[in-house]
Amino acid sequence: MNKKRQAIWDKSGGKCWYCGSDLPEKGWHADHFEPIQRNWWDGTCEHPELDTEDNKVPACASCNLNKHSMPLESWRKIIQGYVFSLNRDSTQYRLAKRYGLIQETDVKVTFWFEKHGCEEGKPFSEE
């Protein structure tokens, strides 16, 4: 791992900034915490000033791809709505729920860095 990636990895000690899963040594993403909104047509971005090391956090591929270029609060609402859309759209989900395999809660989506008292984009330090 090069020095820049190592510094990003160290912000969480190898956890996904959002879901908290252990990151694999290969295949984790450096996410722009505040989205830079890259243009699909030519790879340029709407907010090049946010393309800094301070704004990059370690993320698992699923979180990074799912967050895409959404601001955090928009993404939180999307995740919060997944139970609703699963109930609406997935026969398998509804059936699994009916058989007691799934128990819904009304917990609020809380990201790993929020539970661990990290400030936005600031390195995580162990006590």
Interacting residues toward Zn ion by CB under 5 A: 16, 18-19, 60, 63
Task: Give the max Cα distance, the chain.
Answer: 51
Nearer to Zn ion, 19 or 83 (CB): 19
Place of tokens 């505040």: 34
DSSP 43-107: S-BS-GGG-SSTTEEEE-HHHHHHHTT--HHHHHHHHHTHHHHHHHH-HHHHHHHHTTS-----P
Are 8 and 57 within 8 A, CB to CB?
Answer: yes
> 78 vs 94, which CB is nearer to Zn ion?
78
Cβ proximity to Zn ion: between 36 and 113 the closer is 113
Smallest distance, Å, CB 31 to Zn ion? 9
Nearer to Zn ion, 10 or 46 (CB): 10
Q: How far is the CB of 94 from Zn ion (least distance, A)?
A: 26
Q: Minimum distance between the CB of residue 27 and Zn ion, rounded to whole angstroms?
A: 12
Least separation, in Å, of the C-beta of 16 and Zn ion?
3
